[in-house]
Structure 1
């Protein structure tokens, strides 16, 4: 039998605190939310592993340290509206909901939408909603957002998603360079212009739909 409570504590102490995650609200979210409730049943014993965890459909639950540092960099306030793009089975949504006023989670796989909604309902998380939409389009119906999280590595952030940032809004993701190496990145919109800075290296799986597009060859 896995002691999930002990595993959560170990994740926080060994994976997060030792890797410059210091935000107390964020650490409390990671230590109290049952990560095992957001992975397929057969993978639950691996829920607290310190690497990306496959959840099916070519999708992954992001490594705890990477997710935590991205969320921390976004500096989410209690009044913020957050867009969680590619929420998978809903774990990132649950974490974000502990920090923000409202979370809109977008997932394009129908069975993931259902599973994420059920998991959030079971935990009585009432300030988050999961909707089905193409990930690369974001969710303009509820824009603008104070924070946008992309739940995987991307070759680029589509302009359509950047446009959904509020003034002063922050977007966090793992951007792939031309060699395919991942760089956790914080982007911010100021006076209508979005700029970014690299936070740290991250070997995060690509979010389907956000792969690098091959150029024309003449």
Structure 2
């Protein structure tokens, strides 16, 4: 059985911190969110590798370093509403939920949206709502947004 908590700590110490990610919010989120819940079942052992994890059809869960840099640049604040466009399996939404008041996770693939809801529930990311809809249309119904994340 893999020790995912140890892998998570190693990921932050060897991939994220050396990439000049200094935001305590981002580091704390990455240490607390179990990335293995947000990758396809057959790829759990690769969850903490320093690469993107494929979701099919050209979609990916961004590499830890890339995700951390994106979140640090976004500078999400505790009173902000975040729109996560192309949320995939929900990892970025779970991370943002640790920093924001609420997150709207927009995903156009119904299967990915369903799996994101499951993973977010398992991760206790209770301030995230998953919306299944076309990415190009956004989700203005729930806005205005303070931060918009756009992913692969």
Whether TM exceeds 0.5 here: the answer is: yes
Instruction: Please give the alpha-carbon distance, in whole angstroms, between the structure 1 residues aligned to 2:48 and 2:97.
Output: 20
User: Contact 2:34/2:123 (CA < 8 Å) preserved in 1?
Assistant: no
Shift in Å, 1:122: 1.5
TM-score (norm 1): 0.68
Greater share of strand = 1
**1:93-112 CA deviation, whole Å, 9 max, x = no partner?**
00000000010010000011
Instruction: Please give the alpha-carbon distance, in whole angstroms, between the structure 2 residues aligned to 1:136 and 1:64.
Output: 25
Q: After the TM superposition, which residues 8-157 of structure 1 pair with which residues of structure 2 at under 5 Å, given as runs?
A: 8-152=8-152
Q: Which runs of 5+ in 1 are unaligned?
A: 153-218
Question: What SS does the corresponding residue of 1:51 show, helix, strand or coil?
Answer: coil
**1:175-202 CA deviation, whole Å, 9 max, x = no partner?**
xxxxxxxxxxxxxxxxxxxxxxxxxxxx
Give structure 1 regions of 4+ aligned residues with deviation exceeding 4 angstroms.
none
TM-score (norm 2): 0.96
Structure whose CA Rg is larger: 1
Count of residues paired in the alignment: 152
User: Contact 2:117/2:130 (CA < 8 Å) preserved in 1?
Assistant: yes
Please tell me the root mean square deviation across aligned C-alpha atoms, in Å. Answer: 1.0
